[in-house]
Amino acid sequence: MADHAMVVSAHPMATAIGVAVLRDGGNAVDAAVAVHWALAVTSPWAGNIGGGGFLVLRQADGRSLALDFRETAPAAATHDMFIGKDGRADPDISELGALSCGVPGSVAGLFALHDSLGRLPMARLIQPAIELARHGCVLSPLEAKDLNGCLRKLRLYSSRPNAFTAKDRWQVGDTLFQPELANTLERIRDLGPDGFYRGETARAIVAEMDRTGGLISAQDLAGYTPVWRPVVKGRYRDTEVISMPPPSSGGVLLLQMLEGMEGMDVRRSGWQTAPTIHRMVEVERRAFADRSVHFGDPCFTEVPVAGLLSDQYIAERLADFDPERATPSTRILAGEPPVEHEQTTHISIVDAEGNAVSCTTTLNGMYGSGVVVGGAGFVLNNEMDDFSAAPGVPNNYGLTGGEANSVAPGKRMLSSMAPTILERNGELFMVLGSPGGSTIPTSVFQVILNVVDHGMGMQQAVNAPRFHHQWLPDTIQAEVGSIAKQDSLRLVHMGHHFKARRPLGRVDAVLVRPDGKLEGGADPRGEDHARGY
């Protein structure tokens, strides 16, 4: 709880750095930039300078903006680059190694954000990350476990020894020193974006690609540009929902699912009861079916956002909804909306002036592609797997796609990230988002329902167990304890299928309470941390 400002992120040290920036007179943008740099050091499994992401900003005067710093396909990428000699998609090359790497967007995105709306000098914001990298971070039990689980990948796909492979096995309490990353961050501090996209660091990236068979060139790096985009907006009950547009599908999916719940008195039907879950699953499966056909990079394909979010279209999609029976996913196809021309981590921040930032950034998989740039000390993403290798072929998250999300040079791959901000009566109400691949929109969806319909506080809403459905496979993936036994049995009788799974997402969120105080919700599924003043 805090009176003035709040930072919620995936690591306690990164959160503390964000709060210190706010206390020093920085705004929410400054804090978000500093936290992102810090997470690249403290949480290299997802925090990054070798990946990309999306950010939604609501300024204190109510204006909202979205920044797309998603990775792009290299110029040498080809439509069928992930199709093997047998004519089938080969996940070994789309998910791991140098061919899976997209052109990183994080550094350019941070500078675009800061140059437009930041207040403190960039050197002030990046220096804490440099010091963390040089002086080391002590590994927690979860960090040691995750790093050990990826050591084989990091050794197999990197061409040079690096900080992560310095030990055969990491122990709790070991210190991870990252001097090469510290040097890279210093070049960025001193030279700006050119310290990454040109010069010594760019040469190191291209050299790593040459050694490991990747496609990213010096021209790809020098030509990368983030994009400011208009946000997508919708209403749910008495709140306005502001989220990320394509090439992220997450914001539109979230708004589709929320609109699909408007016709049900969720508070009356009860939290995670069989009728509530049934309706949520049915709207989820229809939204994800639409994702498989209609979504892609808007610079390459027309995404009918307005049509997908129209009241009439949502009503048509639910016309065959049966409150007593599950609709098999084999009977659900993408709809025909009217066309109108027009391992990830999350940060949620509210500053003392009322500016709010919701930012989700990713390498895609845990430690991304497994490729650590020799001499530069950072992991490259494996975002090329988020393209559709072939129509109907699932990616690492089980998501299928079509031609709209096929590989093309310079194209941004589709995402599920959903950084989101809610207003109530024209005032800031909630800031939230999550990592988790395909489970991101449904995690954000459930937390919003927990607060708006079920009256939970922020931390309670984040803590509450979750479930997920994404059309294909036709299964409700549920955390242990998320659904009572009697409700599970009723749902099975209705035709639903279940699969137990590990924790879903790591939602980081801030709620503005009726008394004006800020309540941070840091997800206990990770080592996330909320702090304010």
Q: What is the CATH number of the domain that holds 279?
A: 1.10.246.130
Give the domain range for residue 430.
235-343+417-520
Return the number of other C-beta atoms located less than 10 Å from residue 91's C-beta: 17
Quote the pLDDT of residue 397.
Answer: 60
What is the Cα–Cα distance from 449 to 444, expressed in whole angstroms?
9
- pTM for the whole structure: 0.95
User: At residue 242, what are phi and psi to the nearest 5 degrees?
Assistant: -120, 125
Q: Is residue 404 part of a domain?
A: no
Alpha-carbon gap, residue 286 to 335, rounded angstroms: 8
> What is the rounded CA–CA span in Å between residue 217 and residue 207?
9
- Residues 320, 354: one domain? no
Phi and psi for 411 in degrees, rounded to 5? -85, 145
Residue 255 structure tokens: 């708004």
Integer Cα distance of 256 and 324 in angstroms: 22
Among residues 25, 26, 43, 41, the alpha carbon closest in space to that of 346 is found at 43
How far apart are the C-alpha atoms of 524 and 237, rounded to whole Å? 28
For residue 233, give the DSSP letter: E
Residues 76 and 169 in one domain: yes
Per DSSP, 390 falls in state: S
In a domain, 530, yes or no: no
pLDDT digits (tens, 9 = 90+) for 106-161: 999 999 999 999 999 999 999 999 999 999 999 999 999 999 999 999 999 999 99
Query: Are 336 and 376 within one domain?
Result: no
Q: Examine the domain organization and report whether 79 and 186 are in the same domain.
A: yes
Quick one: pLDDT at residue 413? 96
DSSP state of 325: B
In a domain, 406, yes or no: no
Residue 425 pLDDT class (50, 70, 90 cuts): very high
Query: Could you tell me how far CA 350 lies from the centroid of its own chain?
Result: 19
Question: Catalytic site residue 344?
Answer: yes
Amino acid at the residue 529 = H
CA atoms within 13 A on the CB side of 459: 11
Output the average pLDDT for the chain: 95
pLDDT of residue 435: 95
Considering the domain boundaries, does residue 405 fall inside one? no
Distances (CA, A) of 264 to 178, 274, 283, 470: 52, 13, 12, 21
Query: Residue 296 domain-assigned?
Result: yes
Lookup result for tokens 């209705």: 494
C-alpha distance across the termini of the chain, in Å: 8
CA-to-CA dists, residue 172 to 83, 162, 352, 467, angstroms: 41, 19, 37, 31
Give me the residues paired with residue 357 across strands. 57, 349
Q: What is the pLDDT of residue 342?
A: 34
Residues 464 and 335 both lie in one domain = yes
Residues 266 and 280 in one domain: yes
Which residue spans within 89-217 are E strands per DSSP?
Answer: 137-138, 175-176
Per the listing, tokens 């029976």 go with: 325
pLDDT at 488 over 90: yes
Residues 319 and 361 both lie in one domain: no
Q: What is the pLDDT of residues 17-52, one digit of tens each?
A: 999 999 999 999 999 999 999 999 999 999 999 999
Do 334 and 188 share a structural domain?
no
Same domain, 250 and 144: no
More confident residue, 338 or 56: 56
pLDDT tens digits, one per residue of 505-529: 999 999 999 999 999 999 999 999 9
Same domain, 31 and 71: yes
Question: Considering the domain boundaries, does residue 402 fall inside one?
Answer: no
**So what's the pLDDT on residue 335?**
79
* Domain shared by 244 and 223, yes or no: no
Q: Are 423 and 56 in contact (CB under 8 A)?
A: no
* pLDDT bucket at 340, cuts 50 / 70 / 90: very low
- Coil, helix or strand at residue 249: coil
Give yes or no for a contact between 382 and 454, defined as CB atoms under 8 angstroms apart: no
Full DSSP string of 332-384: -----PPP----EEEEEEE-TTS-EEEEEEE-SSTTTTS-BPTTT--BPP-GG
C-beta of residue 43 within 8 angstroms of C-beta of residue 528 = no
Question: Within a domain: residue 408?
Answer: no
Q: Are residues 369 and 382 in the same domain?
A: yes
Rounded percentage of the chain residues whose pLDDT exceeds 70 = 97
Please tell me the distance from the alpha carbon of residue 465 to that of residue 272, in angstroms, as a whole number: 9
Catalytic residue, chosen from 15, 184, 344, 439, is 344
pLDDT of residue 402: 79
For the stretch 352-410, pLDDT in tens is 999 999 999 999 999 999 999 999 999 999 999 999 887 666 666 666 667 899 999 99
415 and 66 in contact (C-beta within 8 Å)? no
272 pLDDT higher than 80: yes
Distance between CA atoms of residues 487 and 498, nearest Å: 12
Q: How many domains would you assign to the chain?
A: 2
CA 269 – CA 273 distance, rounded (Å): 7
Q: pLDDT tens digits, residue range 186-243?
A: 999 999 999 999 999 999 999 999 999 999 999 999 999 999 999 999 999 999 999 9
Nearest residue to 94 via CA among 332, 404, 401, 528: 401
Rg (CA), the chain: 22
Domain assignment of residue 285, yes or no: yes
